[in-house]
C-alpha cells in the first residue's frame, strides 16, 4: 500500500532528512511570503512530497516541481478559491481552507509554469489554482473525516439525533463516490451494550451513503467502523467518538475544519504555557495555535510538555485529524533542542539524541495514523512519543 511505503520511508530516514509528507506543506509556509515554496512531488503519488529533487519512494518515478498554497474555498464547490475567509457565493456557507497547487499560465497556452513571469505579449502571466489530492480533509456533513490506508478512499462518519450512524464516502479529492462504487463497499459499525459487550451492526446502502440504526447512546458516544473497500480486501478500522450529535452545516454556519493548512496563527502570546494561550485566544484550541520556537531550553521544554498533553487530549476526544498540529509543533521543538545537546554531559547526550530522533519519527507516525483514524495505532505511536518526550525532559537540567 502507498501509506505503508510512506511509513516505512519515514521510519528509515535520518532525523534531519526530508521526509515524504501529506499535504501539510502550505501550513509550513512562512507568513508574509507571497510566493509559495517550491516542493517536489510524485506524478503518480501526490501524497509523496519532498523539499528537493529525487525519485518517488513508491514507484521510482522522478519527482516533479509543484507549489502548494492554502486558499479559502466552498465546502462543496471547489471552483471557488479566495485569499481570505468569507461566504461561498454559491450556497452562502462559510468558506473553508484547502490546499491547492499553484501555477502560472498565459491566455490560450497549454503550458503551465511553477514560476510567475511575462507572456510573449509582455502581459503578466495569470495565477492558476487547481484542487490537490488530499487537499481537503474537511467534514462535509458535520461529522468526523478520515482517510483510508489506500490513500484514495476517504470517509466521514456522522451520528444523528435519530440514533443513526451514517457513513459518507469520498475519493482523494473529497468528491462523493458514485453509487456504483459505493455498492462495492461493505461495512459495519461496532458499539457496546450496557454490559460492555460489543455489538456489530451491518451498514446498509441508502443512495450514496451507508447507514445503520444503532440507537441513542450516552454521549460522548464511542464506536468504530469496519470497512472493506474491495470484496477480497482486508477490513479497515476507523474509530469515532461523538461528543454530540452530528449536525448538517447550514448556510452561514462554520464547519469544523481539519484542512491540511490551518488558519494563520494570531500574534504569539507573551508566555509559552498553554494557559496563557487560552487567555489570549479564548475561541481557539491552544493545540491549534502555532507558536515561535523559544530561545531558551526551559521555555522549549514547557512548550514540549504542553504539546504532549494536547495530543493526549485530542486522542481522548477522538479528534484524530487535528493531532498533526501539536505533533508537528513538538517535532520542531525537539529539533530545536537538538542544537543544545552539546552543552550536556556525554552520558546525557547518549540519552537525548536517540530520544529526539524517536520523537520526530513518532510525530510523523501520529500524523499518518491520525489521517487514517485507527485509535489503536495512534495510541501506540503516542506511547512511543511520550517515552521520547520523557527522556528529553530527563536529559536536560531541571529548573528550580
Domain spans of the chain? 2-131, 144-242, 274-395
On whether the pTM is more than 0.85, the answer is no
Summarised one tens digit per residue, pLDDT across range 351-384 is 999 999 899 888 878 887 887 787 888 999 999 9
144-242 and 274-395: same fold? no
Q: Please, are residues 176 and 155 in contact by the beta-carbon 8 Å criterion? A: no
* pLDDT at residue 337 is higher than 90: yes
> Omega before 332 cis (within 30°)?
no
Give the model's pLDDT for residue 100: 83
Write down the residue that cell numbers 451513503 correspond to. 209
Residue 276 has pLDDT above 60, yes or no: no
For residue 86, the model assigns a pLDDT of 86
Tell me which of 3.40.50.970, 3.30.450.20, 1.20.120.290, 3.30.420.40 is the CATH number of domain 274-395: 1.20.120.290
Q: Does position 400 have pLDDT exceeding 60, yes or no?
A: no
The residues that bridge with 66 in the sheet, in sequence order, are 39
On the question of pLDDT at 280 being above 60, the answer is no
- pLDDT digit string (tens) for 142-158? 899 998 888 889 999 99
Query: Average pLDDT for residues 184-206, to the nearest whole number?
Result: 95
Q: Which of 62-71, 129-138, 279-288, 313-322 has the lowest mean pLDDT?
A: 279-288
| pLDDT confidence tier of residue 24, bands split at 50, 70 and 90 | very low
pLDDT tens across 232-259, in order? 889 999 999 999 999 987 654 444 433 3
Mean pLDDT of the chain: 79
pLDDT at 183: 93
**Does the pLDDT value for residue 279 go beyond 90?**
no
* Cβ(74)–Cβ(26) below 8 Å: no
Q: What does the pLDDT average to over 99-118?
A: 89
> Best-predicted range by mean pLDDT among 20-34, 271-285, 331-345?
331-345
Per-residue pLDDT, 290: 56
Would the pLDDT of 124 be above 80? yes
| pLDDT value of residue 104 | 93
Those residues whose C-beta lies under 8 Å from the C-beta of residue 203, and which sit 6 or more positions away, are: 165, 167, 186, 187, 188, 189, 210, 211, 212, 225
Q: Which residue would you say has higher pLDDT here, 400 or 251?
A: 251
User: What digits encode the pLDDT tens for the residues 213-232?
Assistant: 999 999 999 999 999 999 88
Q: For domain 144-242, give its CATH number from 1.10.287, 3.90.930, 2.60.40, 1.10.10.
A: 2.60.40
Q: Which residue has the cell 489521517?
A: 371
pLDDT at 85 over 70: yes
Task: Say if residues 262 and 27 touch (Cβ distance below 8 Å).
Answer: yes
What pLDDT is recorded for position 163?
Answer: 95
Percent of the residues in the chain that have a pLDDT greater than 90, as a whole number: 42
Burial of 116 (0-12, 13-18, 19+ CB in 10 A): middle
How far is the CA of 189 from the CAs of 239, 263, 371, in angstroms? 10, 33, 19
Q: What pLDDT is stored for residue 291 in this prediction?
A: 64
Tell me: cis bond preceding 143? Omega within 30 of 0 counts.
Answer: no
Of the two residues 190 and 47, the one the predictor is more confident about is 190
Q: Which of 62, 60, 65, 95 is nearest to 77 (CA)?
A: 95
Q: Out of 31-45, 82-96, 262-276, 289-303, pick the least confident.
A: 262-276
Amino acid at each position: 500500500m502507498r501509506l505503508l511505503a510512506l511509513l516505512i520511508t519515514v521510519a528509515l530516514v535520518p532525523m534531519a532528512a526530508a521526509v515524504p509528507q501529506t499535504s501539510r506543506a502550505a501550513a509550513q509556509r512562512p507568513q508574509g511570503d507571497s510566493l509559495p515554496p517550491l516542493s517536489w512531488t510524485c506524478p503518480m503519488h501526490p501524497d509523496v512530497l519532498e523539499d528537493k529533487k529525487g525519485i518517488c519512494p513508491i514507484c521510482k518515478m522522478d519527482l516533479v516541481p509543484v507549489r502548494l498554497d492554502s486558499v479559502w474555498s466552498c465546502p462543496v464547490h471547489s471552483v471557488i478559491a479566495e485569499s481570505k475567509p468569507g461566504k461561498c457565493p454559491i450556497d452562502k456557507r462559510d468558506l473553508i481552507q484547502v490546499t491547492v497547487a499553484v501555477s502560472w499560465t498565459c491566455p490560450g497556452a497549454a503550458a503551465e509554469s511553477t514560476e510567475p513571469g511575462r507572456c510573449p505579449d509582455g502581459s503578466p502571466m495569470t495565477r492558476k489554482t487547481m484542487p490537490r489530492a488530499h487537499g481537503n480533509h474537511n467534514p462535509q456533513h458535520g461529522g468526523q473525516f478520515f482517510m483510508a490506508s489506500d490513500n484514495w478512499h476517504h470517509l466521514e462518519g456522522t451520528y444523528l439525533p435519530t440514533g443513526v450512524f451514517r457513513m459518507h464516502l469520498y475519493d482523494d479529492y473529497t468528491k462523493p463516490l458514485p453509487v456504483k462504487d459505493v455498492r462495492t463497499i461493505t461495512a459495519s459499525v461496532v458499539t457496546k451494550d450496557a454490559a460492555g459487550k460489543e455489538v456489530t451492526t451491518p451498514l446498509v446502502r441508502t443512495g450514496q451513503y451507508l447507514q445503520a440504526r444503532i440507537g441513542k447512546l450516552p454521549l460522548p458516544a464511542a464506536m468504530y467502523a469496519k470497512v472493506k473497500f474491495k470484496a477480497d480486501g482486508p477490513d479497515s478500522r476507523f474509530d469515532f467518538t461523538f461528543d454530540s450529535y452530528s449536525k448538517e452545516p447550514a448556510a452561514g454556519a462554520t464547519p469544523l475544519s481539519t484542512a491540511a493548512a490551518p488558519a494563520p496563527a494570531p500574534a504569539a502570546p507573551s508566555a509559552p504555557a498553554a494557559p496563557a494561550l487560552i487567555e489570549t485566544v479564548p475561541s481557539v484550541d491552544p493545540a491549534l495555535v502555532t507558536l515561535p520556537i523559544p530561545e531558551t531550553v526551559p521555555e522549549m521544554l514547557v512548550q514540549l510538555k504542553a504539546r504532549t498533553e494536547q495530543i493526549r487530549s485530542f486522542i481522548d476526544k477522538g479528534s484524530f485529524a487535528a493531532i498533526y498540529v501539536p505533533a508537528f509543533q513538538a517535532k520542531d521543538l525537539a529539533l530545536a533542542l537538538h542544537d543544545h545537546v552539546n552543552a550536556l554531559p556525554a552520558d546525557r547526550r547518549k540519552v537525548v539524541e536517540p530520544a529526539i530522533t524517536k520523537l520526530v519519527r513518532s510525530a510523523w507516525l501520529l500524523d499518518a495514523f491520525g489521517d487514517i483514524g485507527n485509535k489503536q495505532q495512534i495510541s501506540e505511536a503516542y506511547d512511543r512519543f511520550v517515552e521520547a518526550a520523557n527522556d528529553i525532559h530527563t536529559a536536560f537540567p531541571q529548573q528550580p
